[in-house]
Chains A and B, each alone.
Chain A
Amino acid sequence: MVKYIARRLAYSVIVLFVTSLVVFGLSRAAGDPRHIFLTEYTSQADWDAWGKEYGLDKPFIVQYGIWAGNALRGDFGTSLRDHVNARLVIQERIPATLQLTVGSFVMAIVVGLPLGVMSAIKRGSMLDYVGRSWALLGQALPPYWLGVMMVLLFAVMLNWLPSGRKGDWTHFVLPAVTLGWGAASGMLRLTRSAMLEVLDSEYIKMARAKGVGNNWIIWKHALRNAIIAPLTYSGLLLGGLMTGTVITETVFSWPGLGRLAVQAVYNNDFPVLTGVVLLVTVIYLSVNLLTDVLYAMVDPRIRLN
C-alpha cells in the first residue's frame, strides 16, 4: 500500500514538473520579460541590472530553477494589471471557485448516482428513458451554450433568477446547474452501466435464487460492487469541474479562478495566468492522488497488483 501511494505520488510530481516546464518554456518563448518595464528612459545599464536581478543572464535551466523555486513558495511574480503579487489576486478568487465546484459536485452525485441506479433497476421504464436521454444530452450539449440558454430562459424571459455575478444564493443556482449538468450525466451513465453489469453477475443470480429480498440485493450486494467505478469517476470529476469553471465563470461573470484565467489571457497578464494554471494542476493532481488511494482501499485487487 505504501509502495503504491509512493509510486502515485512520484508520478504526480513528474506531471507537475512537466506542466511547469511547459508553462515556463512558453512564458520565455513569449519574449524577454524585461520588455514589460521598458520605457523611453530606460538605459542600457538599467536593462542589464534587471537582467541580473531576474537572473536572465543565466542559462535556461537555472532560470527555470529560480522561477520554480519562487512558484513553490507561492510567488508567481507581480500581476501586470493590478500591480500586486499575483498570489494575492489569485487567493482572492479561490473561495468563489470552490463554492461553485463543490455545489455542482454535490449536484452531480445527488442527481447522477440515484438516477443511474434507478434506471439500471427499472430498465426500459420511463425513468430509464429519462435517465438515458439526460446522459446523451449531457455528452452533446456545449456547456457554455447551456449556460447562455439558461440565462435566456430563467433570467431574461421568466425573470426568476439573476443572470450572473455573485450575490445571495439565487446567483448561485444557474452557474452550479450549468457546471453540474454534464457531470451529473457522466455520473448517471457510469453508475447505470456499472449497476447493469453487476446485476447480470453470477452472485446476484445466486442471491436471487436463494430468495434474498430484492431491495437487499440492490442496495447491499449490487451497489456496493458497482460503486467503485462512480467513485473513481468522482475524483476525475472534481478535477474536470475545476477546468469546467473556466467556461461557466465566463458565462456568468462569476468572480472565480476560471474567469481570472480568461481575463489574464485578454490582459496578457502572464504571472496571474501561470499562477492559476499551476494551482489548478496541483489541485487536480492532489484530487486524483486521493482518488487512487481511496480506490486502492476499496478494491484490494488494485493495491495488490
Chain B
Amino acid sequence: MIIAVLLFSAIFAQNLTSHDPERAGNLDDNETAPMWQSTGSSKFILGTDHLGRDVLARIIYGTRISLLVGIIVLVLSGAMGTIIGIISGYFGGNIDEALMRLVDITLAVPFILVALVVAVILGNSLNIVVVLLVMFFWTGFARQIRAETLQLKTTDYVAFARSSGASNVRIMYKHILPGVFSTFLVIATLTVGTVILTESILTFLGVGVPGPTPTWGAMISDGRNYLTTGWWMAFFPGIAILLTVLAFNFLGDWLRDELDPKLRQLTQ
C-alpha cells in the first residue's frame, strides 16, 4: 500500500501539489505550522520551511530522488553482484577465493568515512552518490547468489547441459541465471530500504545529493536548525523515510516467505 502511494507520488508529483518544491515561496509564509495547529494555514497541509517552501510538496518531490537512487543502485549493484556471484560459484577454486576476498575487503572498509573522502575530492552529485552506493551494496548480492549457484551447479539439468556440450557462458546464462532470479528479487527488496536510508544519511552529512533538490535527508538536516520554532520541518521527512523503509522491509520479508522458504535462514 505505502509503496503504491510512493510510486504514485513520485510519478505524479506535479499533479499532486501546486507548490514549487525548489524555489522559495512567499517569505511571509515561512515557518507556517501544519494546518491543524492554530497558527497553521490550510494552504500548507504540513506547514512550510524556513524559506516558505511547502513541506508536503518537498516530501512528495523527495520521493523521486529516494526511489530513483534506490532503484538505480539496486539494478546496478544487483547486476554486478549477480554476475560476480554466479562466476564465483560456478567456477570455484581460485576465482571464487579471489572474488570472495574482494567481498570481505569491501565490507571491511568503513563506508561512510570513505564516502566523506570521495565527496571532498570529487564534489557531491547524484552520480557520485549512486556509484558509492553501488560499490558497497553489490556484496550482499554476490554472497547470496554465489551460495545459490553452488547448489544449482550440482543439479541434474546443469550436468545434462554440460554433457550435451553447452559452453560455460551458456550454462550460466541459460540455466543458472533463471534459477537465481527469485533470490535476486528477494535480496533487492530487502536491500532497497537500506539503500534509501544510506542515501539520506550521506545527504544529511552534506555529501549526498546537493541542494536545492528536495531530498528527505537534506530536509531533516535543514530542519534541525529550526527545531525550536518549527518542529514539523524535520519531523515529517523522517516519518516519510521510516514508512518507506518499513514498507520495503515488509515487502521483502513477504516475498522471501512466498518465493523461497530456504532463504529464511540465510537472511535472518
Q: Which residues of A contact B (CB under 8 A)?
A: 11-12, 14-15, 18-19, 22-23, 26-27, 29-30, 136-137, 139-145, 148-149, 151-152, 156, 193, 239, 242-243, 246-247, 250-251, 261-262, 264-266, 268, 270, 273-274, 276-277, 280-281, 284-285, 288
What residues on B are CB-neighbors of A270 within 8 Å? 120
Pair A148/B227 contact, Cβ less than 8 Å:
yes
Complex Cα gap A266–B203 (Å): 14
In the bound complex, do residue A139 and residue B249 qualify as a contact, i.e. CB atoms below 8 Å apart? Answer: yes
Q: Are A266 and B108 in contact (CB under 8 A)?
A: no
B227 touches A156 (CB 8 A): yes
B residues 214-229 in Cβ contact with A at 8 Å: 217, 220-221, 223-224, 227-228
> Could you say which of B205, B207, B237, B246 contacts A140, with CB atoms under 8 Å apart?
B246
Q: Are B114 and A142 in contact, CB atoms less than 8 angstroms apart?
A: no
A15 touches B120 (CB 8 A): no
Residues in A whose Cβ lies below 8 Å from that of B118: 26
Asked if A277 meets B114 with Cβ closer than 8 Å, knowing A140-B246, A142-B197, A288-B108, the reply is yes
Most buried by A among B217, B223, B227: B227
Q: How large is the interface on B (under 10, 10 to 19, 20 to 34, 35 or more residues)?
A: 35 or more
Contacting B204 at CB < 8 Å: which of A151, A247, A276, A288? A247
Complex contact A145–B238 (CB within 8 A): yes
A-B contacts, 9 of them at CB < 8 A, read A22-B114, A29-B121, A140-B249, A149-B234, A152-B231, A246-B113, A262-B206, A276-B113, A277-B117
Nearest Cβ distance between residue A243 and chain B, in whole angstroms? 5
Which chain A residues border B119 with CB–CB below 8 Å? 265
Q: 0/1 per residue, B155-171, Cβ < 8 Å to A?
A: 00000000000000000
Do A145 and B117 touch (CB < 8 A)?
no
Is residue B34 contacting chain A, with contact meaning CB distance below 8 A? no
Bound-state CA distance A23–B120 (Å) is 11
Collect the chain A residues with CB atoms within 8 Å of residue B105's CB.
14-15, 18
- Sample of 8 more A-B contacts, CB < 8 Å, known A27-B117, A243-B110: A11-B104, A137-B242, A140-B249, A148-B238, A156-B227, A243-B113, A262-B205, A270-B120
Closest B-chain residue to A153, C-beta based?
B231
B201 at the interface (CB under 8 A from A): yes
Per a CB cutoff under 8 Å, which of A14, A30, A136, A288 touches B120?
Answer: A30
Is the CB of B36 closer than 8 A to any CB of chain A?
A: no
**In the complex, chain B residues whose CB is within 8 Å of the CB of A140:** 193, 197, 241-242, 245-246, 249
Distance between Cα atoms of A17 and B7 in the complex (Å): 43
- Report B-chain residues with C-beta under 8 Å of the C-beta of A26: 117-118, 121
Q: Is the CB of A136 within 8 A of B246?
A: yes
Cβ of B201 and Cβ of A250 under 8 Å apart?
A: no
Distance, CA A145 to CA B197, complexed state (A): 11
For the complex of A and B, the 5 pairs showing the least CB-CB separation, nearest first, are A145-B238, A140-B245, A30-B121, A140-B246, A15-B108
CB-based contact B113/A141 at 8 Å: no
Q: Whole-angstrom distance from the CB of A239 to the nearest CB of chain B? A: 8
Give chain B nearest CB distance to A298 CB in angstroms: 21
Mark B residues whose CB is within 8 Å of A. 101, 104-105, 108-114, 116-122, 193, 197, 200-201, 204-207, 217, 220-221, 223-224, 227-228, 231, 234-235, 237-238, 241-242, 245-246, 249, 268
Which residues of chain B have C-beta atoms less than 8 A from A284's C-beta?
Answer: 108, 110
> Chain A: which residue is nearest B197 at the CB level?
A142
**Which residues of B lie under 8 Å from residue A276 when comparing CB positions?**
113
User: Taking the nearest CB of chain A, how far is it from the CB of B102, in angstroms?
Assistant: 9
Least Cβ distance of A81 to chain B in Å?
Answer: 13
Contact A277 B113 (CB under 8 A): yes
On whether the beta carbons of A280 and B113 are closer than 8 Å, the reply is yes
**Closest residue on chain B to residue A284 by CB atoms:** B110
Chain B nearest Cβ from A290, distance in angstroms:
14
Given known A-B contacts A14-B105, A140-B193, A243-B110, A145 and B245 have beta carbons under 8 A apart: no
Nearest-neighbour CB distance to chain A for B129, whole angstroms, equals: 14
Interface centre among A11, A145, A149, A264 (most CB of B within 10 A): A145
The distance from the CB of B33 to the nearest CB of chain A, in whole angstroms, is 14
Roughly how many angstroms separate A251 CA and B217 CA in the complex, as a whole number? 13
CB-CB under 8 A for A152 and B227, given A27-B121, A142-B220 = yes
Cβ-defined partner of A151 (8 Å) among B101, B114, B227: B227
Expressed in whole angstroms, the Cα–Cα distance for A14 and B98 within the complex equals 13
| B-chain residues with CB within 8 Å of residue A193 when the two chains form the complex | 268
* B220 with A148: CB separation less than 8 A: yes
Cβ A243 vs Cβ B206 within 8 A: no
Complex Cα spacing A4 to B116, Å? 34
